[in-house]
Amino acid sequence: MGIIARIKRDGFRRTAVHRLLKKHGQLRAFIFRALLSENKPILDSAKIVQPTQFSGKGRITISKARLGFFPSPGFLSGSGYLEARAENAIIEIAESTTINNGFTIIADKSSIHIGKRCLIGPDFFAADSDFHGMSVEDRTSGNYDCKPVKIGDDVFIGQGVKVMKGVHIGQGAVIGSGSVVVTDIEPFTINAGVPAKKLRSLPRPQDNPAEATSSHQNTEAAQL
C-alpha cells in the first residue's frame, strides 16, 4: 500500500509512528547482524524483519524465508537467535517459511532443518541438544550427544512451542500453542500438549484437490 493511501486509511500520526517504529526495527536488525553476530549466514533472498543474532562456527542457510513480523507481538521488544555452534553444525530454513518474533534455534553439534512453507508462531524454540550431560560429572564436560531436528514442509507451529532434540515433525502437521515436542510427529496430524500428543488426523492434500492447488501459494501474505 502506498503512503498516501495509508495516511488516508490510518491518519497522519498513526502512519508516521508506524514508519518510525519500522525504521527503528530495521536499525536494530542491522546492529544485531553487523555488530553482534560472528556467524555469516547464507541468506538467499531471506527477509530478516526481526533483529536476529547469528552465532557459531557452523553453517546457517536461509532460503527465501522470512524471520519476524511487524506489527506482531514481540517485534518492538524481542529478538531472534540462530546458532550453529560447532563447525559441522547446520541450520537450514527452506523457502517460503515464516517464523514469527522471538525465536531461538540452536544446532549445537548436528543439524536443524525447517522445511518449505512452514508457519511458525512467536516465541519458538528448537535445539538438537541438552547442552549439558545428564550425569553430574558430565554437566560441564561437553560429553553429551546431539540429535538432528527435522521439521517437514507445510508444518504449522503455534505460539510458544518447544521442539527438543532428535524430533522429526512430519509434513503438514499442526503443533498447538504452548506444546513441548519430544517425540516424532506423524505427517498431517494435529498435536498439542506437554508432551505433545496426537489429537486427530488431517486430510492429506491429495484427499482435497482444491486445497492442494491453492494452499500456501503466498506465505508472504500470511499473517501469524
Ligand X SMILES: CC(C)(COP(=O)(O)OP(=O)(O)OC[C@H]1O[C@@H](n2cnc3c(N)ncnc32)[C@H](O)[C@@H]1OP(=O)(O)O)[C@@H](O)C(=O)NCCC(=O)NCCS
Interaction between residue 67 and ligand X (CB under 6 A): no
Residue with smaller CB distance to ligand X, 71 or 142: 71
Among 121, 152, 170, 205, binds ligand X (CB under 6 A): 121
In the bound complex, what is the minimum distance in angstroms from residue 100's beta carbon to ligand X?
Answer: 6
In the bound complex, what is the minimum distance in angstroms from residue 133's beta carbon to ligand X?
Answer: 31
Q: Please, are residues 112 and 149 in contact by the beta-carbon 8 Å criterion?
A: yes
Among 74, 158, 170, 172, binds ligand X (CB under 6 A): 158
Show contacts with ligand X in window 160-219 (CB under 6 A). Answer: 174, 176-179, 190, 192-193, 199
Residue with smaller CB distance to ligand X, 21 or 192: 192
In the bound complex, what is the minimum distance in angstroms from residue 68's beta carbon to ligand X?
Answer: 12
Please return the burial class of 91, using the count of CB atoms within 10 Å of its CB with bins 0-12, 13-18 and 19+. Answer: buried
For the annotated catalytic residues, the residue numbers are 132
* Upstream peptide bond of 187 is cis (omega within 30 degrees of 0): no
List C-alpha distances in Å: 203 to 33, 38, 71, 211, 223: 41, 43, 32, 10, 23
Compute the chain's Rg from CA coordinates: 19
Q: Please, are residues 48 and 67 in contact by the beta-carbon 8 Å criterion?
A: yes
Binding residues (CB under 6 A) for ligand X: these are 100, 121-122, 158-159, 174, 176-179, 190, 192-193, 199, 224
